[in-house]
Amino acid sequence: MTEEFHATKPIYLQVADRICYSIVRGEIKSGEKLPSVREMAIQTGVNPNTIQRTYAEIERDGIVETKRGQGTFVKNDPTLIASLRVRIQTEIMETFVENMKEIGLSKTEMLTAVQAFLTERGDVE
């Protein structure tokens, strides 16, 4: 199944984000093998070279490791998921805050808007 990608960010980074989100959500576990480059290319509908670049990127970030002849595995590090979750959360919040500042919202207005949004959706306890 071919996935949709945004023109604002390189595809290899979008695939890397999706893999990281799957790890944080527990869909991909610590120590688990990722699909081969060819399999992932077919799943995502992108060139195998793009997936190779994706795997190299997340390996540089210390999230996965490649074992010669065996494949690419999520590192079996108990602190990895927690630190990855914090990193993703921070990136999302930075983008959100910058976008809200661009439309002129103050910190108080942002907090009020988020609270109202969550209440409206029923996501507040």
The domain of 98 spans 80-121
Q: Give the pLDDT band (50/70/90) at residue 78.
A: confident
Q: Which two tokens stand for residue 105?
A: 């919202």
Is residue 55 located within the same domain as residue 98? no
Is residue 21 located within the same domain as residue 60? yes
> What is the model's pLDDT at position 6?
87
Is residue 70 located within the same domain as residue 20? yes
Is residue 23 located within the same domain as residue 62? yes
Q: Are 13 and 53 in contact (CB under 8 A)?
A: no
> What is the model's pLDDT at position 4?
85
Count: domains in the chain: 2
Question: 60, 52, 21: which is closest to 35 by C-alpha?
Answer: 52
For the chain, give the percent of residues with pLDDT over 70: 95
Q: Give the pLDDT band (50/70/90) at residue 122.
A: confident
Per-residue pLDDT at 125 exceeds 80: no
Is residue 89 located within the same domain as residue 105? yes
Is residue 91 located within the same domain as residue 105? yes
CA–CA separation, 61 and 24 (whole Å): 15
Query: pTM here?
Result: 0.82
Identify which has the larger pLDDT, 121 or 53: 53
In a domain, 47, yes or no: yes
CA–CA separation, 76 and 32 (whole Å): 8
